[in-house]
Amino acid sequence: MDRHLEAFLEMLAAERGAARNTLAAYRADLEDFAGFARRREGAPVTASPELLRAYLVWLTDSGLSPRTAARRLSALRQFYRFLAAEGVRADDPTEILDSPRQPSRVPKALRREEVEALLDAAARLPGKRGPLATALLELLYCSGLRASELVSLPAQALMQDSPLVMVRGKGGKERLVPISDRARRAALSLRAPKKPSKWLFPSHAASGHLTRQSLLLLAKQAALAAGLDPAKVSPHVLRHSFATHLLEGGADLRALQMLLGHADIATTQIYTRVLEERLRQIVETHHPLAEQNLAGKKPGTESPPAA
């Protein structure tokens, strides 16, 4: 499998622009299955649907979550499709496999007043951390960027007179994202003319730009300063908050899909679940039949008007 695995990973990098972390995750998932197959005296490249099904059962029995099992099956599906396309196999053994059922998870989001408290606290962090945390958290909340997209923004992505930022997302796909004047000013204030950098948020890390770990740490520090539970605050939570608050304000789902960089609108639709209670209340409050029922009246039993 090693030879075919390397060819598969090379294809992902060259044709799909897969990031380093993505390639590492694929490698780990496929090598895990390879180890299982060898223990069953099977060969990964020639694995049967029965062997793959036994692997999924073993994952469940090992206590892995349905989400993790589904991710590994997704890696296997893509690997075997690649083998079939390359003529290494005549079939795709994953075609008849069902994906593990996953519980629907409502994205966690901060309340608007919590976001304001977080941003205010970020500005109060001592030293250089204050302006940096302010710029990072302002950009996260006003744009919905992923953490990896934010820290790797090139310096030229943010222009003095442009309301848009060019973002390179998953798979190397680019999209334009609008940002607020407040966030732009906060980010531009960090520029050091005497030490120009190709990155918007430069650092001494090997990559040359701020790491996701440093971003997470700043978010946690701002949460503590704001009196919020740091376990409930992260760049991902701010992305969820951005999406949730836009939908609450009446944003179109397709527009939100473009802003978040989702390839499939089904991924975006999960955010609508956080609005279910609000929509139910709207119907109960404004629908005429619902109003009658709430008042304890049945349709058609209204009292006649007084003479």
User: Residues 6 or more apart from 149 whose CB is under 8 A from it?
Assistant: 167, 168, 169, 261
Architecture of domain 112-275 in this structure? Orthogonal Bundle (1.10)
Residues written for the chain:
307
pLDDT tens digits, the chain, 307 residues: what are they?
678 999 999 999 888 888 888 899 999 999 999 999 999 888 888 999 999 999 989 988 888 888 888 889 999 999 999 999 999 999 999 988 877 665 556 567 899 999 999 999 999 999 999 999 999 999 999 999 999 999 999 988 887 677 888 888 777 788 888 899 899 999 989 988 778 889 999 998 888 999 999 999 999 999 999 999 999 999 999 999 999 898 888 888 888 888 888 877 777 877 776 666 666 666 777 767 665 554 554 444 444 444 3
Token pair, residue 247, equals 């939908």
Q: What are phi and psi of 199, to 5 degrees?
A: -105, 145
Catalytic residue among 170, 175, 212, 220: 170
Is 286 assigned a catalytic role? no
> What pLDDT score does 215 carry?
95
Q: How many CA atoms lie within 13 A of 177 on its CB side?
A: 32
Q: Under the phi-then-psi rule, with left for phi > 0, alpha for psi from -120 to 50, and beta for the rest, what region is 109?
A: beta
Catalytic residue among 146, 184, 240, 245: 146
Specify whether the CB–CB gap between 259 and 144 falls below 8 A: yes
Q: Which fold has domain 2-85?
A: DNA polymerase; domain 1 (1.10.150)
Cα–Cα distance, 174 to 262 (Å, whole number): 12
Give me the pLDDT at residue 164, please: 85
pTM above 0.75, yes or no: no
Would residue 212 show up in a list of annotated catalytic residues for this protein? Answer: no
In the annotation, is 254 catalytic?
Answer: no
Active site residue 245: no
**Which one is catalytic: 72, 209, 239, 245?**
239
Domain ranges of the chain: 2-85, 112-275
